[in-house]
């Protein structure tokens, strides 16, 4: 079910009203069933009820179950993950069990979760890599017809963080399967994050705060801003992004730059918009999740960028990959090894393709270079004495290097990404003289507005809008105006549904 759909607009108020009426266990049961219904409403694009697929028995039954009975069998994968991790946590926390047994439980949980994720997300990519290594050519191994279940990367990581925390004795295992299942499947963040830690969710589950008028106003502001980011900004920028990446071979470097930066802002607005709605909706039920974005597009450097972008994911890979590898505790070269392993993992998590591997490694390169530069006397002097001019230069330079990552993230192949990146550096026939026209003038102005507005609003918070009736009214009217005048009526899927 999409947040930007009529289905959700009917679903949400019904669930809110019923949960306000119910108390205790009944409330939790209803929220769990509502979350499973929310996930069950996902319609894989490959299922076409006019003609059922018959190429294999499981495809036939997946289609028939969905088309005839409205049952999405992919929900079974979510349930399997819940059951395995629930019992893994219980067994690890039993009194008297040995450390060896606890490790076996953790490994069983990780193998189950990563095995399921690996099959659905990486099987065809591994077949492609094998064919390339064996020089078999692209037609020697046919890809399997595998549908990637929506949200599998998010709920798998969320569930794994629970079992790892229980193993580390940083979290007490949950005795109630109902509570744990609700944690994994809670519908606001189920399919595209944020990746919520168990201690945050159970804190509010065990001691639900009273939803005050201020909470409702803050949630309303966050939800409204999320829809504006998605429908007004992300979907409009998607037009120039799609045009640029489809016609890159005929565009000049300035037009490639516009489309590349437009994609960076598109995916930011799209994903931040989704998590704004998710966090706002969760707050209506009494759950206060941490922010997932903090104006990352106006960051001063790449390290600053990653403390502001997809915060729940960047802290996840820090806590469960980078630090366990040794972090920065074992010398420079081990630190860089850990850094590159972590960001290679991050790239592969986002997608099973060479260009995502390239994107992850590029993040590692930028972070390593920044780490070296940050230790120099020049860096210290400029940060102290550079003033506003250096501040602006640092932000522009950061965006310059991020643009190469945007291309690798969006391009379908590394070959296409390479050609577009050469154009960013004007390494095309004619060089600077190749720029004789500029077809994206309007979008160039829109990007300038995005930069200026983000820089200004980065000094404010959602909470501050609810403190003043005047600010709240202006915010409401501005968003309604943008949605009515510039909103895309046929809004697209959220981009992170593909991950």
The answer to whether 199 is a known catalytic residue is no
Of 305, 350, 355, 370, which is the active-site residue?
350
Write the Ramachandran bin of 43: left for phi over 0, alpha for psi from -120 to 50, otherwise beta.
beta
Positions marked catalytic: 350
């Amino acid at each position: 079910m999409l947040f930007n759909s009529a289905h959700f607009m009917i679903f949400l108020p019904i669930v809110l009203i019923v949960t306000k009426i119910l108390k205790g266990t009944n409330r939790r049961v209803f929220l769990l069933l509502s979350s499973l219904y929310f996930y069950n409403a996902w319609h894989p694009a490959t299922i076409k009820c006019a003609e059922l697929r018959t190429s294999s028995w499981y495809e036939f039954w997946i289609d028939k179950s969905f088309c005839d009975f409205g049952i999405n069998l992919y929900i079974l994968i979510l349930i399997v993950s819940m059951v395995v991790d629930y019992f893994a946590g219980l067994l690890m926390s039993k009194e008297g069990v040995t450390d060896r047994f606890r490790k076996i439980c953790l490994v069983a949980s990780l193998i189950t979760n990563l095995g399921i994720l690996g099959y659905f997300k990486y099987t065809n990519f591994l077949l492609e890599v094998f064919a390339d290594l064996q020089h078999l050519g692209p037609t020697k191994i046919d890809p399997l017809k595998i549908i990637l279940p929506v949200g599998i990367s998010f709920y798998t990581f969320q569930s794994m963080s629970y079992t790892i925390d229980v193993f580390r004795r940083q979290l007490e295992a949950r005795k109630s399967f109902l509570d744990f299942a609700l944690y994994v499947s809670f519908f606001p963040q189920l399919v595209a994050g944020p990746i919520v830690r168990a201690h945050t969710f159970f804190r509010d589950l065990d001691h639900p705060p009273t939803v005050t008028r201020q909470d409702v106003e803050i949630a309303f502001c966050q939800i409204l801003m999320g829809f504006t980011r998605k429908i007004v900004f992300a979907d409009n920028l998607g037009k120039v992004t799609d045009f640029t990446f489809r016609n890159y071979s005929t565009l000049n470097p300035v037009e490639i730059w516009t489309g590349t930066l437009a994609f960076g802002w598109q995916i930011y607005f799209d994903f931040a918009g989704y998590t704004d709605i998710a966090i706002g909706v969760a707050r209506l039920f009494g759950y206060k999740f941490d922010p997932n974005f903090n104006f990352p597009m106006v960051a001063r450097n790449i390290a600053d960028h990653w403390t502001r972008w997809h915060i729940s994911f960047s802290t996840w890979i820090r806590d469960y990959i980078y630090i366990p590898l040794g972090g920065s505790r074992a010398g420079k070269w081990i630190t860089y090894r850990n850094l590159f392993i972590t960001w290679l993992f991050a790239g592969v998590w986002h997608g099973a393709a060479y260009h995502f591997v390239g994107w992850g490694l590029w993040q590692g390169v930028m972070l390593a270079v920044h780490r070296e530069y940050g230790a120099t006397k020049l860096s210290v002097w400029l940060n102290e004495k550079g003033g506003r001019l250096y501040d602006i230069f640092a932000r522009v330079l950061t965006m310059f290097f991020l643009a190469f990552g945007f291309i690798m993230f969006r391009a379908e192949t590394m070959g296409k990404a390479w050609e577009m990146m050469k154009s960013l550096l004007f390494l095309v026939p004619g060089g600077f003289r190749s720029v004789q026209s500029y077809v994206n003038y309007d979008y160039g102005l829109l990007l300038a507005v995005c930069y200026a507005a983000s820089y200004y609003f980065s000094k404010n918070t959602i909470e501050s809008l609810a403190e003043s009736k005047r600010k709240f009214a202006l915010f409401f009217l501005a968003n309604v105006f943008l949605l009515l005048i510039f909103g895309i009526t046929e809004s697209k899927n959220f981009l992170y549904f593909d991950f």
